[in-house]
């Protein structure tokens, strides 16, 4: 029985193709909106799992980096007239770069682990939200998501967002599965079990944690 099971990758591809065809059935808008939220939370949970599940560093700062990505897209499309699709890689890079800078400093302090690390990421959320609310980063009174021009690549803007969310969720799950089976994933698991022992055994803990921190922020935007 076990030999007849499909590999996870094929099952994932099959599920993705089936879900991509949902808008073609012209179902009520509720279903697309509901599935969009499901894809969004899959992406967010999967990206969080790379750092907090694999490496054991519980983070409460995903909301901040998600907001940074959203703010970047809104600013690029409204203030600089950047096409929506071209703004998405920039939003991901901003979130990843911001996370990398913070991680490069935090992980140099060996005592920042466990509850202290979680509190630090929570503090980052409040700091970034305060900056966004009180600083005119875009040179104006702020940006609004309603003003972001979403292209109609798949019939309607809502369907476009649906397929983009599905694609991000698919890539996030596929990347998490690939990391799980990789040498890097084994290193992250070793860090989660006992970081000091992992470092003695030759695991480049600082580099692995830094990469996990940056990658976990990338899909949030």
| Residues 14/8, Cβ–Cβ less than 8 Å | no
Percent of the chain with pLDDT over 70: 89
Per-residue pLDDT tens digits for 74-116:
888 887 888 988 999 888 888 888 888 888 888 887 777 777 8
Q: Is the pLDDT score of 73 beyond 90? A: no
Spatial distance between the Cα atoms of 160 and 111, rounded to a whole number of angstroms? 45
d(CA 207, CA 83): 34
Write down the pTM of the prediction: 0.84
Contact 166, 19 (CB under 8 A): yes
User: How would residue 163 be classed by pLDDT, with cut points 50, 70 and 90?
Assistant: very high
Q: Comparing 194 with 67, which gets the higher pLDDT?
A: 194
Produce one character per residue of 127-153: b if its CB has 16 or more CB atoms within 10 Å, e if not: ebeeebeeeeebeeeebeeeebebeee
State percent of the chain over pLDDT 90: 36
- Model confidence pLDDT, tens digit, residues 142-151: 566 666 788 8
CA distance 217 to 177: 17
> With bands split at pLDDT 50, 70 and 90, how would you rate the model's confidence at 137?
low
Q: What is the model's pLDDT at position 215?
A: 86
SS3 at position 177: helix
pLDDT for 139 beyond 60: no
Tokens linked to 186: 């084994």
**83: left (phi > 0), else alpha (psi -120 to 50), else beta?**
beta
pLDDT at 134: 74
Q: Is 160 left (phi over 0), alpha (psi -120 to 50) or beta?
A: alpha
Q: Is the pLDDT of residue 197 over 90?
A: yes
């Amino acid at each position: 029985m076990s030999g007849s099971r499909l590999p996870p990758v094929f099952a994932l591809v099959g599920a993705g193709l089936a879900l991509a065809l949902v808008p073609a059935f012209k179902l009520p808008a509720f279903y697309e909106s509901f599935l969009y939220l499901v894809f969004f939370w899959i992406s967010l949970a999967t990206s969080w799992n790379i750092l907090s599940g694999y490496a054991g560093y519980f983070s409460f700062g995903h909301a901040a980096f998600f907001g940074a990505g959203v703010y970047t897209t809104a600013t690029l499309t409204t203030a600089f007239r950047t096409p929506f699709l071209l703004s998405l890689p920039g939003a991901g890079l901003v979130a990843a770069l911001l996370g990398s800078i913070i991680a490069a400093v935090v992980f140099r302090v060996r005592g920042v682990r466990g509850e202290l690390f979680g509190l630090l990421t929570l503090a980052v959320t409040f700091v970034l939200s305060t900056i966004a609310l009180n600083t005119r980063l875009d040179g104006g009174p702020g940006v609004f998501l309603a003003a972001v021009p979403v292209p109609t690549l798949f019939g309607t803007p809502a369907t476009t967002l649906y397929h983009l969310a599905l694609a991000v969720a698919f890539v996030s799950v596929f990347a998490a599965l690939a990391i799980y089976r990789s040498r890097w994933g084994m290193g992250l698991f070793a860090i989660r079990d006992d970081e000091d022992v992992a470092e003695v055994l030759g695991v480049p803990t600082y580099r692995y944690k830094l990469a996990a921190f940056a990658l976990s922020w990338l899909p949030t935007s």
